[in-house]
Amino acid sequence: MEGAKNEIKRKSIEERQQMDELSRIRHSCAHVLATAVLRIWPDAKLDIGPPTDEGFYYDFDLEHRFTPEDFERIEAEMKKVVKENQTFDYSEKSRKEAKEYYQSINQPFKLERIDDIPESEKITFYKNGEFLDLCAGPHVPRTGNVKAFKLLRLAAAYYRGNEKNPQLQRIYGTAFKNKTQLKEWLEAQEEAKKRDHRKIGREQGLFTLSSTVGQGLVLWMPKGGIVRTELQNFMQSELLKRGYSPVFTPHIGSIELYKKSGHFPYYKDSQYPTIKADEEEEYLLKPMNCPHHIEIYAAEKHSYRELPIRLAEFGAVYRYEQSGELSGMTRVRGLTQDDAHVFCTPEQVETEIRDTVDLTLKTLRTLGLNDYRAQVSLRDPNSDKYTGDPANWDAAEETLGRVASDMNIAHEKAPGEAAFYGPKLDFMVKDCLGREWQLGTVQLDYNLPERFNLQYIGPDNTPHRPVMIHRAPFGSFERFMGILIEHFAGNFPLWLAPEQVRVLPITDLQNDYAQKIYSELKVAGIRANIDLSGEKIAAKIRSAETAKVHHMFIVGKKEIESESVSIRVHGKGDQGAKSVSEAISTLKIDISGRIL
């Protein structure tokens, strides 16, 4: 076991080192981009150009409106900068020198950014060729080390992310160590475009977004509703097996509730404006379910004999995301969490954490999301963002790390990523294209029970403070659905498929037999349709394939005579013939077993 843990740790260090190298390349490429833009448009005003997980970007203020047609010209100039093999030279300036420099070359955004640097920190610059940039680094030694890059797209970005500030033009790009890696990545992006959940969702009638309803508010259409219901049924059955009690809470709550919990003002910037009922009552669209569940726990007295108490809700919450950050189902303003909160004694914490982790892992396995890593998200001891007793934080962080290690879950520590009330065990899942998504989360919280003065009566007949565990294996139905659509490219496994079977008679002469099979499928609880159109069988098959129907039961004269169906599976073609009873029985077994 120890050898396995050491191997996991070694691979983690290697991956981090590789990412650090790639980040330096991308950061350097952002400077190469800025150098090229200034050569072509010397009056451009610059803001920032950081590396990202995807590549890099740089923000510009310029009268000329960039278009994708400009990319060829910019890339050509970037190649010249790379060929010149300029060194990245580090230097420092005093605050006064830095401001005088940016005043002299009329770069107002850079001038303001200097004020962001704490007085105790150095003001550092990197220079390549004629381009000098306010920057903390790091960079590769020379522009010649930037060997493979590509400009990707344009976007609008408000200065400092504030809609009241000027709107800048953002150029996104990517860079890799070599052209082979770049080519592979670009090919993966083309595949990702084909799998874009917004495109597939529209084509398959899974969900829609309406500007009339409002940005970031998902409307689940009937087919998408089927998938969501099946996911919810799966989770609900697991919750009932594990002793959770279903609860329901309203969509709004008193502002005083969220002030007491700390969600307001900790998350004030991502919440909708408050709703004033009158001079005395003020409400907030629910940003989190936890305070509501706390009030349910607090509504009754509890003995240690009753604990743990596990409350679960598929609860809608609302977050105000900037319009430029919204993206289909993966970044929304209204979302439904598969949320639950466990109230337990300190002695029960580890057992309950293990069970919530086990549920998260079972969820991922059931959906074929087996490539994941875990992250123990810790507090930053130098930040005042976090609330509560440091001793409780230490205990919570130690428990999460120990459980992850004992369950042989590869994990890294991430200081500064904890919730304000407690550390988290976050599951980062890779889809079939190698993209990483943060899905399930388990959070250990000693602080909200303290803020709400929660109690239970212990075996010594005196009040004790419970511990609270927050967990959400899906995260949110909206985001999880968007990821699943892209992971499966809309080809959902049989148990999730909106249309599990379509019966296709070859000619009108088989319509009565097809109707009989269709009725048997419906009685068996299988989601089925029948195509009685006058189209030829090839067109019927083509229509079912386009609709990503999982199974097709094709019936002709031969099938009537043998009381069978010819089976075709989407994307796999002809699967031979089976008797009707055997075909239906096999489907029911695969559906109940949630076979992928």
Q: Are 263 and 287 in contact (CB under 8 A)?
A: yes
**Measured in whole angstroms, how far is the alpha carbon of residue 356 from the centre of its chain?**
19
Distance CA 303, CA 307 (A): 7
Q: Which one of the listed residues 150, 333, 424, 550 is annotated catalytic?
A: 424
Distance CA 530, CA 513 (A): 11
CA angle 78, 79, 84 (to 5 degrees): 100
Q: Which one of the listed residues 86, 107, 204, 337 is annotated catalytic?
A: 337
424 is catalytic: yes
Q: Which one of the listed residues 110, 139, 228, 341 is annotated catalytic?
A: 341
Q: Which one of the listed residues 223, 292, 470, 548 is annotated catalytic?
A: 470
DSSP type of residue 407: T
319 is catalytic: yes
470 is catalytic: yes
Distance CA 291, CA 448 (A): 8
**Measured in whole angstroms, how far is the alpha carbon of residue 423 from the centre of its chain?**
19
Q: Which one of the listed residues 290, 310, 373, 411 is annotated catalytic?
A: 290
Q: What is the DSSP string of 516-557?
A: HHHHHHHHTT--EEE--SSS-HHHHHHHHHHTT-SEEEEE-H
Tokens linked to 515: 């109707």
290 is catalytic: yes
Backbone angles phi and psi of 595, in degrees to 5:
-70, 135
Residues β-bridged to residue 172: 57, 153
Tokens linked to 96: 């006064």
**Measured in whole angstroms, how far is the alpha carbon of residue 258 from the centre of its chain?**
25
Q: Which one of the listed residues 319, 379, 411, 551 is annotated catalytic?
A: 319
Distance CA 500, CA 25 (A): 48
536 is catalytic: no
550 is catalytic: no
Q: Which one of the listed residues 47, 59, 339, 531 is annotated catalytic?
A: 339
> Residue 441, CB half-sphere, CA atoms under 13 Å: how many?
22
As annotated, the active-site residues are: 290, 319, 337, 339, 341, 424, 470
